[in-house]
Amino acid sequence: MGKETNPEQSTSFSPDGRYFAVLSPESTLKVWDTRSGEIVAEWKDSDSAAVYSSIACSNLAKKGKKKNVLLVALGTPTGDVLAVDALASKKIWTDSSCHSGEVVSLLFSKNGDLLYTAGADGAMSVLSSDNGEAKSKFKSSKKRINSLSISHDERFVGVASKKSRIVGLDSKTELAKIPSDGHGHLISLSDKIVVCSYGNGEIHVYNFNSGNRSIEVNTVLDMKHAPIMLECNSNMVLSVSNKGIVYVWNIEQSAGAGATSSKIKIKSERGKKKGSAMVLSAKIVELDDENKYVSVLVAYMAKDSLKFENVEIKDWGKEITIGPEGKVNKTGSDSELKEKSKKRGAPDSDSENEEIVDKARESDMEFITDEPTMAEKLASLDLAIGEKEKEKEREDIGESDRRLTASVANPPSADSVHILIKQALHADDQSLLLDCVYNKDEKVIAKSISLLTPADVIKLMKFFVLMIQSRGAIVACVIPWLRSLIHLKASSIVSHDSSLSLLNSLYQLIDARVSTFGSALKLSTCIDYHFTEIDHDEADEDAPVIIYEDKDSDEEEEASGEAMETDEEESGKDIDAPQYSDGSEVMSD
């Protein structure tokens, strides 16, 4: 099975389909038993800032033990691979030597003894499930690996990259190249065919001959929306679109491009908008010997809970709707719908018949523009904490603490910032992006960056290069985000065609900014040196203190008047006193 590295689709079936693991956006792991529909295991990393990029699940039967081990492998954006015993809720081992960048894909062997890993560094490794010991490690691509798939006999591995190829696990060498110039997003292979997706609504099917190592073009299968996962088993091909619709093809019965597929949809609940119920993942669990019958296990969201349904497909080309109560309804093909409309007295013109068919389809439309994303669906499962635990925490909080908590605004979480960034990038809203960038929490930055898709990474990189040309507070806020983006998503940036011009522009800008640093440092040092020579403690303490008093005009007039009166009195005294000619006073008797 091939699955795209998509944070909104962090799910995995066990090889036998018995268990289904879901990794929430808060990095909380829960595992369901697909038969009973009950949660059987839960685990949360002690590191609250932990972020994961890939997941795989397997049920291991240990010798000499009555109970099986439910093992879940997780990959990180930094290249670590760890294994968790979900039933025991504990981490078993961690390996940090496999990859130098993001772990994009994890797959267990059929019996669960081996774990296959693929990274953004183009490397593959085979690890022991028991202790994480590396069995082998080799370079399978010069560019980033986007998806990985193992053949059913576990002799070959399919690698989706800039140049997709088939690699032999024994020889660890390339056996054949996929004849396409497209950048492979998803890949899956069986013993007979190889299927690839290149990021659009088309799935390319190739015949694979392992004997002479040849690949030939078979057909092209059309989907209305891009796939998020692929699986092929014998001649059966299964895919889930990004709108939550399951497509199934039988290649033997589908000849030529545009072959008809059978679809599986989820009927929306009453009172809720269309698209509220959506498929998360699907898996082929049973095939007949003649490849005319297939059973598909579907995991889907309904009534804010996770449900599982086995759907049997025998009549090809029809749509199957799973009701909210688990009922399966079948809808005929387009020709059958037209025939029924004619029997009901519908007009005979082809154009009006097409309108009737469209109206019949409209009730089962598989997409709407404002439907909730898969991340929001997973979040609605309340994976981080149960309602009972929330109620208990609310009871434990005192009344004063509740008032204080209500009065203080909670800072945005990493997931809310990630969603806002995606919305801003898709709407080209720079003001909203700036609001997100003003968040300086390192954990929020790292987790938000790690959840971005390669396409969003390039868009955000272009925005940062534009903003860093500014000055002041904007640059101070952008720099931590830019540093985290380059550190966590270097492989995604380098693999894009426009990365060279972006990085070159960034280099030139940084070089121009730091070119003045040397002269500015010299000037600062010189100023500091001269200021150290001024000793303020040696100032002359005996120096006269000059005090200036500011008086208004009225006070000045009064002061001048008093001074004049004093002068007149003194002059009068001098006139009244008799004096000799030499100026001495004459003494009276």
pLDDT of residue 304: 72
Cα gap 124→379, rounded to integer Å? 32
Cα–Cα distance for residue pair 495/514, rounded to 1 Å: 28
The model's pLDDT over 212-260, given as tens digits with 9 standing for 90+, comes to 878 888 888 888 888 888 998 888 899 998 888 899 988 864 444 445 6
Burial 344-359 (b: 16+ CB within 10 A, else e): eeeeeeeeebeebbee
CA 69 to chain centroid, in Å, comes to 30
Q: How far apart are CA 59 and CA 41, in angstroms?
A: 12
In 297-441, which ranges are continuous DSSP H helix? 334-343, 350-362, 374-380, 387-396, 399-407, 414-427, 430-437
Instruction: Produce one character per residue of 165-179: b if its CB has 16 or more CB atoms within 10 Å, e if not.
Output: bbbebeeeeebbebe
Q: Taking residues 195-201, what's their average pLDDT?
A: 81
Say if pTM beats, i.e. exceeds, 0.85: no
Identity of the amino acid at 373: T
Chain segment 376-385, per-residue pLDDT in tens? 555 555 444 4
Candidates 171, 169, 170; CA nearest to 189 is 169
Distance separating alpha carbons of residues 140 and 166, to the nearest angstrom: 9
More confident residue, 576 or 30: 30
CA distance 316 to 228: 22
**DSSP type of residue 536:** G
Residue 279 bridge partners (DSSP): 300
Residue 567: is its pLDDT beyond 60? no
- Please provide the size of the chain in residues: 589
DSSP-derived letter for residue 140 is -
Task: Write the secondary structure of 237-272 as one string of H (helix), E (strand) and C (coil).
Answer: EEEEECCCCEEEEECCCCCCCCCCCEEEEECCCCCC
Residue 456, both tokens: 């969003």
Per-residue pLDDT, averaged over 121-138, amounts to 92
> What confidence score (pLDDT) does residue 163 get?
86
Torsion angles phi and psi, residue 326, rounded to 5: 85, 10
For residues 158 and 176, give the distance between their C-alpha atoms in angstroms, rounded to a whole number.
10
d(CA 127, CA 108) in angstroms, rounded, equals 10
Q: What is the mean pLDDT of residues 534-554?
A: 54
